[in-house]
Structure 1
Amino acid sequence: MSGIGRLLVFVVMILNCPGIGAAADHESGGGRGWYKGNTHCHSLWSDGDEFPEMAAEWYKSHGYHFLALSDHNLLMRGQRWHNVHDRDQPVAPPVIEKCRQRFGPSAVETRGEGQQLQVRLKTFEEVRAIVQEPAKFVMIEAQEINGKCGEWQVHLNAIQHADPLDFQAAGDVVESFRVNLRAVADQAARLTRPVAVHLNHPSWPHYHVTAEDLAELTEVRAFELCNASQGANRFGDAHHPSLDRMWDIANTLRITEHKSPPLLAVASDDAHHYQQFAPEKANPGRGFIMVRAERLAADAITAAFNAGDFYASTGVVLRELHYDRKNATLRVAVEAQAGVNYTIEFIGTPADFDPSRSPVDVPPKDGKPQRPVFRYSDDIGKVLARVEGAEASYRLSGKELYVRAVVRSDRRMANPPAGESQVEEAWCQPVGWEKWLAPPATRP
C-alpha cells in the first residue's frame, strides 16, 4: 500500500465508527467519557516563552485532561540547552523562579554564567513523568511540521508518530502537504499505536491555504477551524471566505467531486505566550476539543480523534451529542450556564445545490499575487434550522449532503484573541454524508 493509502487508513475509519454516538457522561475519571484537551501549543523548545513542564502544568491546573505539546519541526527528545539571554526568547528570572517554586529548587538545571547562562529544557518523557496523573491528566507526544512552499506557509500537526520529521517542500501547496503527510503515514505504517494528523490555521498569515486545497487534500481528515490566536483570520475579509464558509465549501467538494469524507473541525489555542495574557498574545485556554474516548490514555484519545468522536469549542460544553443513524436525527444539548443565551444552528448543503462558482478579484499583497479565491452559491453551507435555546434536534430529510451543528452563546470568552473569536461557541462534526460516497445503485 502506498504511503498516502496508509494515511487514509490510519487517519480515520469513520464510515464504520461510532462517531457522535450515544451520549456519555462528562467525566474526568478513567472510563469512557468526554475529555478536554489541546493538540497545538508550544514551549521554549521552539518559539514559546515557557518551560514545557510549566506549560503542561497550566493546562492541568485549568481542568484539561490531555495535552499535545507540538513544538516546531522537532520532538522534545535529547539534550537541549537554552540561553536565558537569547534575543528572541529570553527567559526572565521570574520565569525560572516560578518553575522552581512549583517543582522544587532543583527543577531548573543551569550551566554557565552571566551572558552565557543556560537552562536545560526537559524532554517529553521527563515532562510526562512530572505532570501525568492516572485518570486525571495525560501527555501526548506531538510535533508541528511546518515550512514554506515558495511564498506560502504549510503547517500540520502530527500526533503520536515515531520520530521527528523535517519539513519537505514540493511543487505547490497541496503537494507540499502531501509529501509531509506521506512521511507521517510511512511512520504510522510501522507502528501499532494510532497516529493522528490535522492541518493547521489555513488562513494564517494571509489565506495561504484555499477551500479547494482543503477539498483536494483528502488524505487529511481534520483541520483547525478555530485556531484561537490572533492573526488566524477566521472571519475572512472582503476577498476571502471565513473558515466556517471554507469548511462548508471544502466538505461539499470533498463529497461531490472527490468522493471523500468531510473534514473534521478542530479548535486549538496555538499557545506561545504564558507570561502575559492579552488579546494580542497567543495565550493558552482559548480553543480546545472535547474527545469522547474509552479511557483517558494517549492511544484511546488519539483513536477517538481519528474516529471523529470529538467536537471543537471555545468555551461551550455539551451535555449531549448524539446522532441516531436509524432515525437520521442529530441531537445537541448544552451544559447551560445561568444567564447565558444559546443559539443552535444546523448547517448543511442540499444534494441539488447550485455548483456554479466565479473567481474573486484578489488584489496583490506587498506587490505579490495571492492564492486564487472563488465565490460559490449560497446553497453551500445553508442554515437548515435555527433554535434559540440550549437543546435542539434535527431530522435529516435524506436530501442533504451532510449536516453539522454549531452552538453559539452570548457569553464573551474570558480572554478572546484580537480580531478573532470573541464569544464561546462549539462546532460538531458533519453527519449523514456516508450514503453519498456509496455507488448510486447501493444508496438507501
Structure 2
Amino acid sequence: MIKFFPEHTNWYKGNLHSHTTNSDGAWTPDEAVEHYKANGYAFLCLSDHNLYTDYRYKYNSDLFLILPGTEIAAVLFDEKDGYLKMHHLNGILGTKAMQEQAKSGLFQHMERIEPIVAYGDWDGRKITEEMAENLRDHGCFITYNHPVWSRVESHEFEIDGIYNSLEIYNYNTVNESGTGFNTTYWDEMLRKGMHVNADAADDNHNGNFPDNFGGYVMVAAESLTHDNILNALMEGKYYSVGGVDGPRIDQIIIDGRNVTVSCSPVERVNIIAGGYVGAGTTIMAPKGEKITEASMRLNGTETYIRVECVDEYGRTAWSNPYKMMTIL
C-alpha cells in the first residue's frame, strides 16, 4: 500500500512566488509578511526579480518562515516588437545539505543576479539549462514559472531533471490575461517520462487586480522548519491549490491496483494517468451533491497518475505525480 502523504502529519500553507517593493510589487516586505500571516500562511518566499533576499533574521518565528529566494530572468527582445519570450525561474534556498554542496557558494541578502538579454533570436533551451545550473550551483530549489504567459515553446524548457517543480497555476497571470494554467505542458513532460513535480503560486504584485492568496501549496511536514519544508517540497509531499480557499486533498492511497482519493467536498475528482488513449477517469458528484471520496481501478499499463479535486467554483487542488513503475 502506498500513501501519498504521511499519516499524522502537520499541514503548512505557503506561497513560493511573490514580489515586493524591492522589485515591481506594491507591498513592502513588512506588508507582505503581515498580510500572508493574517491569511493563515506558514511560509512565504519573497522572490523579487533578479534580486535575492534573505529576511529570515527579521520575520522567522515558531509559527512563520521566510524562504529566501529570487526570480531570475532571461528575455528575448526585438527592437521593433519588444519582448518576444521570457524564461523566469525561481531559486529558493535549499536544504542544509544542498547549501553545503553549493559549488558557487550561497547568494547573499540583496545580491542582484543580472538578467540574460538576447536580441532577435536565442537558443532558449541552452539558456534554461544555464539558468538552472546557476541556481543549483548556489544551493537552490528551482521552479520554472508560467510558461504559457512567457510565450516559450515546449522544447525550450521541457528538460528532464534540471528543475524541481513546474509552476502549473499562476494566480497573477490567470487574472491578468488568462495565461496562468500550465498543466498541458506538465502532462506532456510526464508522458515523455520526465518526472517533475508541480506548484501553484500567487506571483502577487498587488497592483490593479487581485493576485494574492489564490495560488498556494499545502505541505505535509513533521514541523515547521526550513529543512522540513524544503525536504517535503523535494519529495513531493504536498499538493497545490488554485483559487482562494480552494479544495483540500486529505490522502491518496494506492492499494494493489485500486486508487482511492479522500478530499474536502468537491464536484469532481480527476484521476489523470499516462499511457493508453483514454487512460484515467473522472468521478463526478450527482447533480446538486458533492463527494469526498473517489476511486479507480488501474489496469496496470498506466505510466503515472496524478489527481485533481475540483469544487463547484472551479477551484482545483492538484497532487504531484507518481510513477506507476515504482508502485505496481
- State the TM-score, normalizing by the size of structure 1: 0.61
How much does 1:56 deviate?
1.0
Asked whether the 8 Å contact 2:3–2:251 carries over to 1, the reply is: no
Amino acid at match of 1:304: A
Asked whether the 8 Å contact 1:201–1:232 carries over to 2, the reply is: no
Residue 206 (structure 2) pairs with residue 268 (structure 1): no
**Number of the residue aligned with 1:425:** 316
**Number of the residue aligned with 2:253:** 323
Q: Deviations over 1:66-93 (max 9, x none)?
A: 10110011123xxxxxxxxxxxxxxxxx
Alignment of 1:35-434 (within 5 A): 35-76=12-53, 124-125=54-55, 128-134=56-62, 136-150=63-77, 151-160=84-93, 162-163=106-107, 164=111, 165-168=113-116, 171-188=122-139, 195-205=140-150, 208-229=151-172, 230-231=175-176, 233-234=178-179, 243-253=182-192, 255=193, 260-261=194-195, 263-273=196-206, 281-314=209-242, 315-318=245-248, 320-324=250-254, 327-336=256-265, 341-350=266-275, 353=276, 379=277, 382-388=279-285, 389-411=291-313, 423-434=314-325
Secondary structure in structure 2 of the residue aligned to 1:281: coil
How much does 1:41 deviate?
0.4
Q: Deviations over 1:401-444 (max 9, x none)?
A: 11111011013xxxxxxxxxxx32101111234459xxxxxxx7
**Distance in 2 of aligned mates of 1:266 and 1:23:** 22
Segments of structure 2 that go 5 or more residues without pairing to the other structure are 78-83, 95-105, 286-290
Secondary structure in structure 1 of the residue aligned to 2:30: helix
**Distance in 2 of aligned mates of 1:269 and 1:52:** 15
Task: Please provide the CA RMSD for this pair.
Answer: 2.6
Residue 12 (structure 2) pairs with residue 22 (structure 1): no
**Distance in 1 of aligned mates of 2:302 and 2:309:** 20
Amino acid at match of 1:403: I
How much does 1:246 deviate?
2.2
How much does 1:157 deviate?
0.3
Asked whether the 8 Å contact 2:37–2:64 carries over to 1, the reply is: yes
**Distance in 2 of aligned mates of 1:214 and 1:433:** 24
- Pair 329,304 (structure 1): closer, same or farther in 2 beyond 3 Å: farther
Amino acid at match of 2:171: A
**Distance in 2 of aligned mates of 1:244 and 1:383:** 15
Asked whether the 8 Å contact 2:17–2:204 carries over to 1, the reply is: yes
- Pair 232,429 (structure 1): closer, same or farther in 2 beyond 3 Å: farther
**Distance in 2 of aligned mates of 1:214 and 1:396:** 31
Identity %: 26
- Pair 52,342 (structure 1): closer, same or farther in 2 beyond 3 Å: same
How much does 1:318 deviate?
2.5
Amino acid at match of 1:426: A
Asked whether the 8 Å contact 1:269–1:282 carries over to 2, the reply is: no
How many residues align? The count is 294
Amino acid at match of 1:138: L
Asked whether the 8 Å contact 2:141–2:164 carries over to 1, the reply is: no
- Pair 155,37 (structure 1): closer, same or farther in 2 beyond 3 Å: same
- Pair 384,196 (structure 1): closer, same or farther in 2 beyond 3 Å: same
- Pair 289,218 (structure 1): closer, same or farther in 2 beyond 3 Å: same
**Distance in 2 of aligned mates of 1:283 and 1:386:** 30
Secondary structure in structure 2 of the residue aligned to 1:143: strand
Asked whether the 8 Å contact 2:5–2:220 carries over to 1, the reply is: no
Moved more, 381-390 or 426-435: 381-390
Asked whether the 8 Å contact 1:203–1:232 carries over to 2, the reply is: no
**Distance in 1 of aligned mates of 2:114 and 2:324:** 35
- Pair 435,138 (structure 1): closer, same or farther in 2 beyond 3 Å: closer
Amino acid at match of 2:301: K
- Pair 198,22 (structure 1): closer, same or farther in 2 beyond 3 Å: same
Amino acid at match of 1:391: E
- Pair 210,383 (structure 1): closer, same or farther in 2 beyond 3 Å: farther
**Distance in 2 of aligned mates of 1:243 and 1:343:** 20
